[in-house]
Amino acid sequence: MTEEMRKQRLVVLGGGESGVGTALLGKSKGYEVFVSDKGKIKEKYKNVLINNDIEWEDQQHTEAKILNADIVMKSPGIPDKVRLIKVLLGKGTPIISEIEFASKYTNATIVGITGSNGKTTTAMLTHHVLKQEIEVGLAGNIGDSFAKQILEHDFDTYVLEISSFQLDGCFDFNPKIAIITNIVPDHLDRYNYKFENYIASKFRIAQNQTKADYLIYDADDEVILNYIQNNTIQSTLLPFSLTKVIENGAYLDQDNIKITIDNNQIIMPIKNIALQGKHNIKNAMAASTVAHLLKIRKQTIRESLENFQGVEHRLENVLKINKVQYINDSKATNVNATYFALESMDAPTVWIVGGVDKGNDYTELFPFINEKVKAIICLGVDNEKLMASFENMVDIIIETQFMSEAVKIAYKIGEAGENVLLSPACASFDLFENYEDRGRQFKDAVRNL
């Protein structure tokens, strides 16, 4: 009897947004909860834990309090190769993500969005369209944690932006609608430098889907197509494409997006979409397909695409100074994201690049650099690879370790009608807290000119 009476012990590793949300939901569901963070837990999260009588520690992991867990929720930032995780896995302790844990406690319709790039914009755009007509939460990698929203205000529908690291901790999670925006090499340091491991990780979003569920994906992406052809996917497929005619799904017919689901069609001119650029047409296709599936009125979908404001740190126009446009694309933490940014430049550009390189291959950027980039400013602790890749391609290439200095140099180089673009193609952890911090420092430096 005693075993039945004993509370299940939930150990949460990482005291950030997802960790604290999971702790709160776990406590309300009768778990004995312990939160442990190897770094410092922010004051606001500490206060929440204290106010809710949840036991916690920071700047250490006390193994005696962790290894007795019945279940562990691990922050997506902690790699599997950490010794503590290996010990837990060796004991057979289930290690899951917040998405997996929280999804067990809601009956909401879930729209799960993953991909190497475009997932934040697609998630925010999808949420923006849906919220015009239904009660919908936005969570995952953005906003309040999924677990906390379920606890405080369980919505009928959730739009979740989900990273591959979160999917690695998903086993039973099954979104009604899944989106894979694209797959390009990223985070390979976490996948033994094997691209196929990373691809399989993204496709975990559809691992439990049946014919009654939907998988929306980019049919122009060879990596995605290959995987679908060579693996069993049960979902009802709704592809989108800029180059092919799609019978069920979305495609570009001259200057209109056409979306067909079960013979029900919606047509939208792309010239009215607020976010321009090829990649944004794809994001709009994915978001509109979801809205169409969830029976949002066609007029509402059109209007929402026309008035969507975009995402901070993603090709965000900051200011025009002396007719030079300063653009913050700090969210471009991989080469593919920067590819989209450079592709959309319509004038000579001073490009600020650099940070923590995740094994980047810059060759796909070469055509744009020849065509559009007039100067490169390398902003990172180690700029050797950037210098080696680009020094023969532009006349001006300069390195610095200060955002304020990078912006001052750009100010001297940029001329009327040109752009200054921060699109780093790298992670930010060498000089900044995160990509938001990097983007804000850029915007502050521009405003201080």
Q: Which fold has domain 99-307?
A: UDP-N-acetylmuramoyl-L-alanine:D-glutamate ligase (3.40.1190)
Assigned superfamily of 316-447: Mur ligase, C-terminal domain (3.90.190.20)
Q: Establish whether domains 9-96 and 316-447 are of one fold.
A: no
pLDDT averaged over every residue in the chain: 92
In this prediction, residue 138 carries a pLDDT of: 96
Give me the percent of the chain exceeding a pLDDT of 70: 99
- The conformation of residue 46, written as its DSSP 8-state character, comes to H
Please check whether residue 26 is in contact with residue 7, taking contact to mean a CB–CB distance below 8 angstroms: no
Q: What is the C-alpha to C-alpha distance for residues 393 and 414, in angstroms, rounded to an integer?
A: 18
Average pLDDT on 69-93 reads 93
- The 10 Å Cβ neighbour count of residue 433 is 11
pLDDT at 406: 96
The pLDDT of residue 422 is: 97
Identify the architecture of domain 9-96 in CATH. Answer: 3-Layer(aba) Sandwich (3.40)
Q: Say if residue 270's pLDDT is above 50.
A: yes
CA distance readout (Å), 125 to 130, 138, 304: 9, 10, 8
- Mean pLDDT, to the nearest integer, of 259-266? 91
On the question of pLDDT at 191 being above 80, the answer is no
Question: Can you tell me whether residue 42 is helix, strand or coil?
Answer: coil
> Where in the chain are the domains?
9-96, 99-307, 316-447
Q: What is the mean pLDDT of residues 90-94?
A: 96
52, two tokens: 């809710």
Distance CA 234, CA 113 (A): 18
For residue range 387-441, list pLDDT tens digits in order. 999 988 999 999 999 999 999 999 999 999 999 999 999 988 888 989 999 999 9
How far apart, in whole angstroms, are the C-alpha atoms of residue 60 and residue 241? 48
The string of DSSP letters for 202-266 reads HHGGGTT--TTSEEEEETT-HHHHHHHHHS---SEEEEEESSS--SSEEEEETTEEEEEETTEEE
pLDDT greater than 90 at residue 149: yes
DSSP helix, strand, coil percent of the chain (3-state; round to 5): 40, 25, 40
> What pLDDT is stored for residue 1 in this prediction?
42
Q: What is the pLDDT of residues 33-70, one digit of tens each?
A: 999 999 999 999 999 999 999 999 999 999 999 999 99
C-alpha distances in Å from residue 311, one per residue of 73, 308, 429, 449: 29, 9, 21, 24
Q: Tell which wins on pLDDT, 276 or 217.
A: 217
Tell me, what's the pLDDT at 293? 95
Task: Confirm if 176 and 103 have CB atoms less than 8 A apart.
Answer: no
pLDDT, tens digit, for every residue of 8-19? 999 999 999 999
Q: How far is CA 41 from the centre of its chain?
A: 23
DSSP annotation of 365: G
